[in-house]
């Protein structure tokens, strides 16, 4: 049996009833498109989060209260099972600067923060995230100013009401990002003087870094983000180099256990580095992507059932044809291969169309995300395309076997008798 003849026969059968063939592969098209779109969006979100975390720096560590983990900064937060909560303090941060106990630590920046804080100026009102920080924070987070300057140690010690604002906040309140130094802004009904406008960092899957107000931690604690005693939300720690991150983490653990009087394994604090955060975020996104992709793949099974149904109908309609072919010498294997190829052709054609549709959907989602200011670029990977193609082919073969076997088992005499 020549392959060319089989393929020509397949094309003749499928094009003979275009509407039925089109409706048959529709389920496969939708299923493959959904899988491609979900995997692409998931990969894009994973890349965005990894990029955002990597931009923080490879030699940074984050110390938070509780034995779980909470990442704060960059306009968002990620929380993972926190227990044994005990607040961190400014004294904890100061202790980490001891050169004898922590030689691998270069700088420390305690922060307090609060989201959805009301900010008003120039007759406009909005909400923003306020960070109370020390001067080390700016260099550790690589915060640069497009205009003006960041606040100084003197302004920190004097509890000055000065603020550095992000470009999005500046645009919302003033309609511009220039000539704002010296202007005033009210944060939680407290008047602050703008001394600098930060350079744009853009949005990410963790949130926007441009809608923020950064003020001295002393002022934040007294006037905006009130905290009891000297409690802080998180401590940023900068190791002397990327290679010394492990040593710095061990030194932080020793100092914190000693200060909090806890044993190994009973820590009431967590230490995360950039790679830990990236791995955690990627793991969460990966699970969600697989979950959504699995749901989308259900439609592929529905499409496969549609193929099996139409192939069974085709066997019934072509009973006399099958009997005639067997009468002139066609073997059971030849009949079975003919129907399997028809089923496989339907599924592969649907898979190819689904890949193109999925790519267009992913592109549309990327455009919508870009228009809304979210840094999300869906990535259609070769693995996703291969997975969708192989899966659609497997569906075609699996659901085509029963109709093909049924056709191959027809007796020539009985088949020729059918009307």
Q: Is residue 365 domain-shared with residue 221, that is, in the same domain?
A: no
The answer to whether residue 291 sits within a structural domain is yes
Q: Is residue 196 domain-shared with residue 321, that is, in the same domain?
A: no
At CA 130, angle to CA 159 and CA 187, rounded to 5? 70
Given a contact cutoff of 8 angstroms between Cβ atoms, the answer to whether 82 and 217 are in contact is: no
Question: DSSP string of 137-190?
Answer: HHHHTT--EEEE-PPPHHHHHTT--EEEE-HHHHHHHHS-SSS-TT-EEEETTE
pLDDT attached to residue 314: 73
Q: Is residue 81 domain-shared with residue 26, that is, in the same domain?
A: no
Q: Is residue 296 domain-shared with residue 383, that is, in the same domain?
A: yes
The answer to whether residue 393 sits within a structural domain is yes
Q: Is residue 43 domain-shared with residue 125, that is, in the same domain?
A: no
Tokens representing residue 224 in the block: 């905006």
The answer to whether residue 16 sits within a structural domain is yes
Q: Is residue 47 domain-shared with residue 76, that is, in the same domain?
A: no
pLDDT attached to residue 383: 78
Given a contact cutoff of 8 angstroms between Cβ atoms, the answer to whether 390 and 298 are in contact is: no
> Tokens 């209260």 label which residue?
65
Given a contact cutoff of 8 angstroms between Cβ atoms, the answer to whether 151 and 194 are in contact is: no
Distance of CA 266 to the CA centre of its chain: 32
Q: Is residue 9 domain-shared with residue 152, that is, in the same domain?
A: no
Given a contact cutoff of 8 angstroms between Cβ atoms, the answer to whether 25 and 240 are in contact is: no
pLDDT attached to residue 78: 38
Q: Is residue 218 domain-shared with residue 119, that is, in the same domain?
A: yes
Q: Is residue 185 domain-shared with residue 71, that is, in the same domain?
A: yes
pLDDT by 10-residue block (mean), the chain, 419 residues:
59 67 80 84 77 67 71 42 65 92 93 91 93 92 91 94 95 93 93 94 61 94 79 90 87 91 83 73 75 74 78 71 70 75 80 88 84 74 79 77 72 57
Domain assignment of residue 234, given as a range = 67-267
pLDDT attached to residue 229: 67
CA distances 394 to 55, 100, 294, 304, 389, Å, are: 42, 64, 16, 9, 9
Q: Is residue 345 domain-shared with residue 368, that is, in the same domain?
A: yes
> Tokens 């990442």 label which residue?
71
What is the rounded CA–CA span in Å between residue 372 and residue 385?
A: 28
Given a contact cutoff of 8 angstroms between Cβ atoms, the answer to whether 183 and 195 are in contact is: no
158 secondary structure, DSSP code: T
Q: Going by C-beta distance under 8 Å and a sequence separation of 6 or more, which residues neighbour residue 329? A: none
The answer to whether residue 225 sits within a structural domain is yes
What is the rounded CA–CA span in Å between residue 136 and residue 53?
A: 19
At CA 196, angle to CA 190 and CA 200, rounded to 5? 110
Q: Is residue 92 domain-shared with residue 20, that is, in the same domain?
A: no
Q: Is residue 48 domain-shared with residue 105, that is, in the same domain?
A: no
Domains held by the chain: number: 2
pLDDT attached to residue 10: 60
Beta strands 234-239; 105-121: pairing state: antiparallel
| pTM for the model | 0.60
């Amino acid at each position: 049996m020549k392959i060319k003849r089989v393929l020509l026969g397949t094309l003749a059968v499928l094009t003979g009833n275009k509407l039925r063939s089109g409706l048959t592969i529709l389920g496969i098209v939708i299923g493959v498109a959904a899988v491609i779109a979900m995997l692409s969006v998931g990969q894009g979100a994973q890349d965005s989060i990894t990029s955002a975390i990597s931009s923080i720096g490879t030699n940074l560590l984050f110390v938070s209260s509780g034995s779980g983990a909470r990442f704060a900064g960059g306009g968002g937060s990620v929380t993972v099972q926190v227990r044994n909560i005990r607040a961190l303090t400014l004294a904890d941060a100061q202790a980490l600067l001891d050169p004898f106990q922590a030689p691998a630590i270069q700088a420390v920046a305690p922060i307090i923060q609060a989201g959805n804080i009301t900010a008003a100026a120039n007759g406009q009102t909005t909400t923003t995230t306020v960070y109370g920080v020390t001067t080390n924070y700016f260099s550790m987070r690589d915060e640069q100013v497009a205009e003006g300057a960041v606040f100084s140690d003197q302004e920190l010690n004097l509890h000055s009401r000065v603020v550095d604002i992000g470009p999005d906040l500046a645009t919302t309140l003033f309609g511009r990002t220039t000539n704002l130094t010296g202007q005033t802004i009210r944060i939680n009904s407290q008047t602050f003087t703008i001394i600098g406008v930060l350079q744009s960092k853009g949005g990410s899957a963790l949130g926007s870094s441009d809608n923020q107000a950064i003020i001295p931690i002393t002022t934040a604690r007294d006037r905006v983000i009130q905290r009891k005693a000297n409690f802080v939300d998180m401590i940023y720690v900068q190791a002397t180099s990327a290679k010394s991150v492990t040593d710095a983490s061990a030194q932080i653990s020793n100092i914190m256990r000693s200060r909090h009087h806890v044993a190994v394994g009973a820590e009431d604090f967590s230490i995360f580095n950039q790679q830990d955060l990236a791995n955690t975020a990627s793991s969460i996104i990966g699970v969600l992507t697989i979950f959504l992709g699995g749901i989308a793949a259900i439609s592929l099974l529905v499409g496969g059932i549609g193929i099996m149904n139409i192939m069974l109908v085709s066997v019934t309609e072509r009973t006399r044809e099958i009997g005639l072919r067997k009468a002139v010498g066609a073997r059971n294997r030849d009949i079975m291969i003919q129907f399997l190829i028809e089923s496989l052709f339907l599924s592969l054609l649907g898979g190819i169309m689904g890949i193109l549709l999925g790519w267009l959907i992913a592109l549309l989602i990327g455009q919508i995300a870009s228009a809304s200011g979210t840094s999300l670029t869906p990535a259609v990977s070769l693995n996703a395309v291969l997975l969708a193609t192989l899966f659609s082919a497997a569906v075609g073969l699996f659901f085509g076997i029963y109709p093909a076997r049924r056709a191959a088992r027809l007796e020539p005499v009985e088949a020729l008798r059918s009307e």
